[in-house]
Amino acid sequence: MPTMATPGVVSVCFSCGQPIDASRPAAAQPRAPESYALTGAMPEAPSMPVNPYAKPGIGLVGEGRETRVSSAEMGVGRDPARCGILLAEPRVSGLHATVKLDGGLLHVRDEGSNNGTFVDGSRIAAHVWVPVRTGAELRFGPVSFAVTP
């Protein structure tokens, strides 16, 4: 209840104009929130919430489609008997490369292809697993894919 106190004058209620008993304790005032000492540490960057409807694995987006890569190794190339990701491009080898998901990170291995496998424009060595970050460009010969979460 808001009041206005003047020394030697009876206080009255703003709402109804009735005198207020001075012997009555004042209404409790709201307390300021507790303050915490500054630590000097940078706040954590906000992270994107997990999409409960997202498909598992890492995505390869290109050629007008999205392919999901799980933990199992998947061949990339023109040979349907050996490849889970088929590319209808004559400059791509029968088994051009292999991709897999390991520890939540995409890895690629060139299988000795003629036209190479590239990560962000750099050709990778044959028969060596190379980690590929999310957002990178992954190219099998002339065919490009974007790596998505």
* CA quadruple 85, 127, 129, 148: dihedral, nearest 10: -30
> What residues does each domain of the chain span?
58-148
Structure pTM?
0.62
Pick the CATH number of 58-148 from 3.30.2320.50, 3.40.50.970, 2.60.120.10, 2.60.200.20: 2.60.200.20
Q: What is the pLDDT of residues 5-22, one digit of tens each?
A: 556 667 777 778 777 766
**pLDDT for position 47:** 66
Alpha-helix residue ranges (DSSP H) falling in 8-83: none
**pLDDT for position 13:** 79
Higher pLDDT, 103 or 100: 100
Q: How confident is the model at residue 63 (pLDDT cuts 50, 70, 90)?
A: confident
Could you tell me which residues come within 8 angstroms of residue 91 by beta carbon, excluding any fewer than 6 positions away? 114, 115, 141, 142
Residue 102 CA: distances (Å) to CA of 33, 45, 53, 57, 142: 47, 25, 22, 10, 26
Could you tell me which residues come within 8 angstroms of residue 61 by beta carbon, excluding any fewer than 6 positions away? 145, 146, 148
